[in-house]
Amino acid sequence: MSQPSPAHDDAPDGGDAEVGDTIVDWYAGAARDLPWRAPGTDPWAVLVSEVMLQQTPVNRVEPVWREWLARWPQAAALAAASPAEVIRAWGKLGYPRRALRLREAAVAITAQHAGRVPADVAELEALPGIGTYTARAVACFGHGQRQPVVDTNVRRVVARLVHGRAEAAPARATDLTDVAVLAPVDHDRAVRFSVAVMELGALVCVAGTPRCGVCPVRDRCAWRLAGSPAYEGPPRRVQRFAGTDRQVRGRLLDVLRTAAGPEAAAELAAVWTDDVQRARCVDSLLVDGLVVQTEDGRFALPD
């Protein structure tokens, strides 16, 4: 539930808020209709969406997010679930440690905040698995606060639009200020700006070749005004998936997620035959708390 805030609260002085206003106007006609953006979305629902979206595309997140909110509509409900239940419900979203961290956050919210997701950024950052980005996203999108919210997409937009660079630099301490000074002065528009600039990076100022021809701020873009200079940084790594430990961990976890009970090591060997890599991945799943070993040496999801 959004909480009312005074207009102009913490509004930065001397920024280029006109650019931000243009982006907000563009967003009004271009935004995707995503369920967690619906007016009045509960901060808990926003928090769940933000954790799921950290490393997984929107189209894969949406059905799982709906299932989670139907099953665990508040933090207290998730806090009462077992780790095995949340790992199963995470399905194939990837990076399943997020599921355990989200449950741990739900436990902390229930124990320390009477089941309500805090609105204070510092309190949010103190929750398990909640970092700079997610804390501000929840404060802004869930609680209606004016907050700079900087993800990869936003960092790329700012790199081009403000700094004239072809691609974003690694995360820097100045990222939040860079974004804050672009926000409109009006409180409600500043809140919308945080999601609008993210959407601009997701739909128009995309990685690789940006769609400058349809960009609402193309006439103000430092990179475009500089003649669209090529990227000159170090070569960018293309993330592969096939054959990685991440793929192996996913396969091993799939076996245990769909099993009726603990499985013998032979069942795991059936889905990945490289003994060394499989052993390494089983070990890391045990260390991460995603898998436990029974007294008779079989493997299972944690109770």
Which amino acid, residue 81? A
CA dist 240 → 164, 175, 272 (Å) = 29, 28, 18
Q: Tell me whether residue 215 or residue 281 sits nearer to ligand SF4 (CB atom).
A: 215
Binding status of residue 20 toward ligand SF4 by CB under 6 A: no
List C-alpha distances in Å: 227 to 32, 58, 164, 169: 30, 33, 9, 19
* Minimum distance of ligand SF4 from residue 210's CB (angstroms): 4
> In this chain, which of 157, 181, 248, 291 binds ligand SF4, going by CB under 6 A?
157
Residue 12 C-beta: closest distance to ligand SF4, Å: 20
Q: Which of 88, 101, 218, 251 binds ligand SF4 (CB under 6 A)?
A: 218
Of 160, 189, 249, 257, the residue at the interface with ligand SF4 (CB under 6 A) is 160
Interface residue with ligand SF4 among 24, 161, 281, 285 (CB under 6 A) is 161
**Sequence letter at residue 21:** D
Site string for ligand SF4, 219-238 (x = CB under 6 A): --x-xx--------------
Burial bucket for residue 290 (CB in 10 Å: 0-12, 13-18, 19+) = buried
Per-residue burial over 209-243, b = 16 or more CB atoms within 10 Å of its CB, e = otherwise:
ebeeeebbbbeebebbeeeeeeeeeeeeeeeeeee
# binding residues, ligand SF4 (CB under 6 A): 14
With H, G, I as helix, E, B as strand and everything else as coil, classify residue 23. Answer: helix
Q: Is 232 a catalytic residue?
A: no
- Name the minimum Å distance from CB 287 to ligand SF4: 41
- CA dist 158 and 169 (Å) reads 10
Residue 270 CA to its chain's centroid (Å):
33
Minimum distance of ligand SF4 from residue 159's CB (angstroms): 9
* Residue 143 burial (C-beta neighbours within 10 Å; 0-12, 13-18, 19+): buried
> Taken in order 21, 141, 40, 85, is the CA torsion positive or negative?
positive
Choose the catalytic residue: 18, 50, 85, 263: 50
Q: Out of 217, 256, 285, 291, which residue is the one contacting ligand SF4 (CB under 6 A)?
A: 217
Determine which residue in the list 215, 256, 291, 301 makes contact with ligand SF4, applying CB under 6 A: 215
Q: Site residues for ligand SF4, window 171-210 (CB under 6 A)?
A: 204-205, 210
Minimum distance between the CB of residue 24 and ligand SF4, rounded to whole angstroms? 15
Smallest distance from ligand SF4 to CB 214, Å:
8
DSSP, residue by residue, 126-148: TSTT--HHHHHHIIIIIT-----
List, by residue number, the catalytic residues: 50
Binding site for ligand SF4 (CB under 6 A): 157, 160-161, 204-205, 210-212, 215, 217-218, 221, 223-224
